[in-house]
Amino acid sequence: MTSPALHLSIRHLRAFVALAEELHFARAAAGLHVTSSALSQTLSQLEAAIGATLVHRTTRKVELTATGRDVLESTQAALAAFDEAIDHMHRVVRGEVGSLVVGYVIGAGLELMPSVIRAFEQSRPEARLVLREYDFSSPAAGLDSGEVEIAFVRPPLNLEGLAYLDLLDEPRVACVPTGHPLARRAKVTTRELLSQPIVAAPSSDEVWRDYWLLVPEREGRAPEVVLEAATFEAELQAVAAGRGISITGLTAARYYARPGVTFVPISDLAPCKICLAWWPERASAAVDHLVAVAKVKRAELPPLDPVKADNRTP
């Protein structure tokens, strides 16, 4: 047989607590936005379900029974816990609490990511950002696998349906060994780079890999890939050792400069982009808030000097 208690709801507990606190049917009913008769019926259902009288009612007086007094505190605590849980759910949905998993590919967001993260955490002190770094073998920074909800990336990515917020356009530069003839140049052209052996990323995204190998500019001629490197460290070590050149963004010259490597601006190559990317159909309030914060911080970023990489404070 089904227990009568299984048919109870939070409404029954609220009815009992309201009456216990007011000890007056009309006032308790008004607070619950029900009629006095509806309140009386709800209380009777509760008493029938637990098999005990909780409230003595007469035409003159309403008072708790001994059982009613004994269960009042625990019932109030149960309602408070329920209300707190519902409030927490709403705060999670609004992105005020909980965690947001943010991916980033190495080298993306160097100029802006730290300030965006700080601003988000200051505006949502009870929310937690979980940061995950990805190397060049995963340029989508976890968006393709669903491991992250939003990511700092460098397009183009071979993923349809992503939403993007452009954060920064920056010139692409050639990373060459310091002793290389091109290292003495103030600028180089794309054509001067196409015959050079080049270090590639071991990316599963051919669109992204080809972009950095200058495949669209080669008119069908294959690049001479001498090595694959998954990180900037490995890439720059290979360049410094004279294995080949590589193509990167201008900010790398500031963050990854080292002896043996020279960064030379490419005069006729379109700039690359750093973006926030996310799946719009899966976006949470926390994702929306991070995007809004990034828009504000993007507007505060000073222009990037095309011939210097050290003119900013991140």
Query: Distances in Å between the alpha carbon of 264 and those of 41, 168, 248, 269, 270?
Result: 82, 19, 10, 12, 15
- Average pLDDT across the chain, whole number: 89
Give the CATH architecture of domain 4-93.
Orthogonal Bundle (1.10)
What's the CATH number for 98-169+272-300? Answer: 3.40.190.10
Residue 186, number of CB atoms within 10 A of its CB:
8
Peptide bond into 156 cis (omega under 30): yes
Q: Do domains 98-169+272-300 and 172-265 have the same CATH topology?
A: yes
SS3 state at 8: coil
For residues 110 and 256, is the Cβ–Cβ distance under 8 A?
no
Q: How confident is the model at residue 5 (pLDDT cuts 50, 70, 90)?
A: low
- Residue range 165-220, pLDDT digits in tens: 999 999 999 999 999 999 999 999 999 999 999 999 998 899 999 999 999 999 99
Q: What is the pLDDT of residues 298-310, one digit of tens each?
A: 998 766 554 444 3
The tens digit of pLDDT for each residue in 246-270 reads 999 998 777 888 899 999 999 999 9
Q: Alpha-carbon distance 7 to 12, whole Å?
A: 10
Residue 88's pLDDT is what?
76
Give the pLDDT score at 310.
35
Residues in the chain: 314
The pLDDT, as a whole number, for residue 314 is: 30
What confidence score (pLDDT) does residue 84 get? 85
Q: Residue 57's pLDDT is what?
A: 85
Superfamily for the 172-265 domain: Periplasmic binding protein-like II (3.40.190.10)
Q: What is the pLDDT of residue 309?
A: 40
For residue 11, the model assigns a pLDDT of: 93
Question: pLDDT tens digit string along 111-131?
Answer: 789 999 999 999 988 888 999
Q: What pLDDT does 95 receive?
A: 65
User: How confident is the model at residue 1, as a pLDDT?
Assistant: 45
pLDDT of residue 7: 75
pLDDT of amino acid 189: 97
Tell me, what's the pLDDT at 311?
A: 32
Residue 307 is predicted with a pLDDT of 46
pLDDT tens digits, 21-69:
999 999 999 999 999 999 999 999 999 999 999 999 887 889 999 999 9
* Burial label, 2 (beta-carbon count in 10 A; 0-12, 13-18, 19+): exposed
Domain boundary assignment for the chain: 4-93, 98-169+272-300, 172-265
pLDDT of residue 6 exceeding 60, the answer is: no
